[in-house]
Amino acid sequence: MPQSIQMIGIEGMPEVRAGDDLAALVVDTASRQRLAICDGDILVVTQKVVSKAEGRVVRLADVQPSPLALAWGLAYGRDPRHVEVVLRESKRIIRMERGIIVSETRHGFKCANAGVDASNLPDAETVSLLPEDPDASAERIRSGVRVRLGVEVAVVISDTFGRPWREGAVNVAVGVAGMDALRDYRGEVDSHGRPLRTTVIAVADELAAAAELAMNKVTRVPVALVRGYDYRRSGRGGTRALLRQPEQDLFP
């Protein structure tokens, strides 16, 4: 039988604050929803609630913008304090053009605004940063669920990235624990018996993108449970496996 995969939004999460135990919040919220978290499930958790819980939120009133941030903000109608946070969170700037900043974070992610975001925050004068170590954040949630329920799950932390050459953004994995982020088909054969030589699928990104359909950006559903996907549980490398090495990148 073809594989059947469920994406279930976990509704009713309270507003997450610094210091909150995300694993406990997820387990308690799922229980109120009468949703059992089972062995082999995958929890997809948005980066925003992870950053809130870990105190990765910056008050713009505390930010002194640099001359570059002031000039860029004036030129493109951006809050220079927000721009300054983006510059501070960037390991290197890839491009600054038409009011858009594309940079590489210290994690190795190449994305708009170094992952700095002002949406879905209760205070309009704040911005959120990416977690310091999203893979470790995913592992803490995974371990917390194991302690509370005695089940082994995988955890994917998702964030919304734009895509070169295509309109629209999709969710991708910025943190992974408990599963391999890639599914390597090399050495296998296709349906016509031809050997596969280059096919490696970013399953963690696919799960993050699919789970967003059950979460949505405006309905306060920051966690989704994925059930029925047969993933490899070794979980080697976290999101590092998803990052292309510079010597292999045609578009550095």
In this model, does residue 63 exceed pLDDT 80? yes
58-127 shares the fold of 6-53+151-243: no
Mean pLDDT of 15-34: 96
pLDDT digit string, tens, across residues 132-141? 999 999 999 9
Check residue 235 and give its pLDDT. 67
Check residue 220 and give its pLDDT. 87
In this model, does residue 2 exceed pLDDT 70? no
Q: 6-53+151-243 — its CATH code?
A: 3.30.1330.100
Half-sphere exposure of 217 (CA within 13 A, CB side): 8
The residue ranges of every structural domain in the chain are 6-53+151-243, 58-127
Alpha carbon distances (Å) from 168 to 25, 136, 171: 31, 29, 10
Check residue 158 and give its pLDDT. 97
pLDDT grade for 21, boundaries at 50, 70 and 90: very high
**Of 128, 126, 97, the residue nearest 114 (C-alpha):** 128
Mean per-residue pLDDT of the chain: 93
In this structure, the dihedral spanned by the alpha carbons of residues 68, 71, 72 and 77, taken in order and rounded to 10 degrees, is 150
In this model, does residue 94 exceed pLDDT 90? yes
Start-to-end CA span in the chain (Å): 42
Q: Which fold has domain 58-127?
A: CofE-like fold (3.90.1660)
Check residue 247 and give its pLDDT. 85
In this model, does residue 172 exceed pLDDT 90? yes
